[in-house]
Structure 1
Amino acid sequence: MTAPRPTSFGPRDLLVVLAMNVLWGLNIIAVKMAVTEIAPLTAGFLRQAMVLLVCGGALRIVPGRMKTLVALGILSGGVFYVAVNLSLAVADNVGALAIAGQLGVPFSMLLAILVFREKIHAARITGIMLAFAGVGLLVFDPAAAKEGPGLALTAIASFIWAVCSLLQRKLIGVPILTIYAWVGLMGSIVMGAMAWTFERDAMLGVGDIRLQSLGWVAFSAIGSSVLGQGAMVWLLQRHPVSTVTPLTLAAPVISVFAAAYWFDSPLGLAMLAGGAIAMLGVAIVTVRTARAGEAK
């Protein structure tokens, strides 16, 4: 992506930022509702099929990038959503999972250090430690501590997300719709195969799924993935990374409080403190990484 032209941050940009954060923040509710009403692997298959339907027109061979596109599609469209959907299917306290989901940022930073030999200084090291410490505090909250399997699956999903973020670095310049077309295609294949193997009755009953249930899947597929990511790309084309990236930090905050309200799940002191500490760590890593990228 080429450096954006300097433009002022106007009302339209703010509306796009607000929409992006709301779409991403409410996505956890949509996915939880989807896996409650539809078998989790089948819901994942339907999600990726919708992404493919929307973005399929942009599916094309990109010379020199196909191994990365296929790998990203399998991981981001398939394996990641196996972990995410199963985590939400087995958990009751969705807010706790939203907090644990922030581990993707420090995982991504640690992988960048190992893979790309990136050098980081005290600020980002502190941010990584705070993010892990904040999530670790969840074990002291009775409502969150009982979500062990869900938290473990969320941590696995966060690690997969971090791997995908490294793969996406190799796809700079590839149109976002083309990327998501491959994610939708490979995700549909992976999720479809797994759902057919482990949830055959649910797959055979896809035609009987209520429109309301499909609506939750559509919100996640189109709203969060296509529109949310599209908004991010649009902003990055107009403003520096160091300006845009920190503006995404509202999404997990929306997720935590929206999930607590929607599912009437408790937000104990330990969970709030852990969430605040984790978000502080994520904010430090995010802002410093964006600034470091701008300085290169």
Structure 2
Amino acid sequence: MPLSHSLAALLVTAIWGLSFVVIKLGVGTMPPLLLAALRFLFAALPAVIFIARPKTDWRHVVAYGFFLGVAQFGLLFAALGLGMPASLASVVMQAQVFFTILFAAVVMGERPGPHQVIGGLVASFGLVLIAWPRMTGGGAIPFLMTVVAAASWGVANIVSKKAGRVDMLGFIVWSSLVAPLPLLGLSLWLDGPTAVWTALTQIDGGTLLAVAYLAYPTTIFAFGIWAYLLSRHPAATVTPFALFVPVAGILGSALILGEAMHPIEAVGGAVIVLGLAFNIFGPRLMRRMV
């Protein structure tokens, strides 16, 4: 992958890492699914007026909008609202790397290399370490929701690859139209009309800034670049750059939110990052061992 594409991938992962902090702050003042709905509403409007619809099957646009907006971020926002730490979520969400590689192998015939299989097994062990102490308490549901959110991200990655080489800015903007109404409907159902109305009429400047960050740098710019890279390189080449998302997420959570991981969570997170690192550096290591 060219250096310019590698640097773009690193910038995207930094933006995404900090977004976990922004989401955590946002769900403290607004119902999670309503915040997610506003994120995609502002990502879509008014941009769809000026940006042409991408030249791909409309089903790709709808599927991407559903799996990215409703499934991935609906679950992630709700999990953070239920108490999932932002730092830990930034690590667990990187299971999307292995879900993407798995789905690419099943759907598109992209056979994973030995280093990717080993990395996936190592990262899975890290997820088990994080999950183990949470399975007996209230943290089980937010953790499982985050894992399913990561799987949904993996599906969205495959959909973007299936869409082919299209205008990725248009693809992101138009797919963002899919998410607001389902997310708003779920918020009205789960939180109640009164809570939704109160949150909208009493929205403050900090929440508006959170929505703006999540809508523009995180959604339009970052996912546009990510989809662009996936359309031009194998999934196994692009997705391992997500290794740097938890670095930004953990640092941001520690500095801004004052979060600290429990020892077992830190070990599990380190194991996941080790698995991700093996995806990137595994071929070099294996060649040196031969």
Which residue is equivalent to 1:259?
253
1:225 to 219, 229, 247: 219
Deviation string 1:96-147 (CA, Å, 9 cap, x unpaired) is: 22221111111111222222333233211101101111121114568x9752
Please say if 1:284 is aligned against 2:278: yes
What amino acid is the match of 1:204? Answer: W
Q: Which amino acid aligns with 2:155?
A: V
Cα distance, 1:159 vs structure 2:
0.9
Equivalent position of 2:286 in the other structure: none
Q: Which residue of 1 aligns with 2:202?
A: 208
Paired residues for 1:78-93 under 5 Å? 78-93=70-85
Shift of 1:262: 2.6
Taking the aligned partners of 1:18 and 1:170, their CA distance within structure 2 comes to: 23
Unaligned runs of 5+ in 2: 284-290
Q: Describe how 1:6-17 pairs up with structure 2 within 5 A.
A: none
Matches of 1:211 and 1:182, distance apart in 2? 27
Would you say the 8 A contact 1:134–1:274 is kept in 2?
yes
| Secondary structure, aligned partner of 1:37 | coil
Aligned residues: 281
- The whole-number CA distance in structure 1 between the counterparts of 2:137 and 2:262 is 11
Aligned to 2:146: 154
CA distance in 1, matches of 2:12, 2:180: 25
Aligned to 2:122: 130
How far the C-alpha of 1:252 sits from its partner, in A, is: 1.7
- Quick check: 1:99–1:135 contact (8 Å CA) kept in 2? no
1:78 touches 1:191 (CA, 8 Å); kept in 2? yes
CA apart distance, 1:18: 5.9
The structure-2 alpha-carbon separation of the partners of 1:242 and 1:129, relative to structure 1 and needing over 3 Å to count, comes to closer
Distance 1:71 1:59, change over 3 A: farther
Moved more, 133-142 or 219-228: 133-142
Q: Which residue of 1 aligns with 2:264?
A: 270
Q: Structure 1 residues 165 and 244, CA, compared in 2 at 3 Å: closer, same or farther?
A: closer
Question: Could you tell me which residue of structure 2 aligns to residue 293 of structure 1?
Answer: none
Residue 41 of structure 1 aligns with an amino acid whose one-letter code is L
Give the alignment's Cα RMSD to 1 decimal: 3.3
Deviation per CA, 1:221-271: give whole Å up to 9, x if none: 112112223455788899999987655432221112321333222223322
Write the distance in 1 (CA, Å) between the matches of 2:181 and 2:71. Answer: 11
Quote the Cα distance in structure 2 between the aligned partners of 1:236 and 1:166. Answer: 9
Q: Matches of 2:14 and 2:55 in 1, distance apart?
A: 35
Give the match for residue 118 of structure 1.
110
Worse overlay, 246-255 or 209-218: 246-255
TM-score by length of 2: 0.83
In structure 2, the CA distance between the partners of 1:202 and 1:49, relative to structure 1 (3 Å rule), is farther
For the residues of structure 2 that align with 1:175 and 1:50, how far apart are their CA atoms? 19
Cα pair distance change 1:241/1:169, threshold 3 Å: closer
Q: Tell whether 2:100 aligns with 1:108.
A: yes
Aligned-pair identity (%): 23
Q: CA–CA distance in 1 between the matches of 2:236 and 2:154?
A: 19
- 5+ residue gaps in structure 1? 290-296
2-structure distance, mates of 1:9, 1:41? 35
d(CA) in 2 for partners of 1:262 and 1:170?
Answer: 38
Pairing 1:53-68 to 2, within 5 Å after superposition: 53=45, 55-57=47-49, 59-62=51-54, 64-68=56-60
Q: In structure 2, what is the equivalent of residue 163 of structure 1?
A: 155
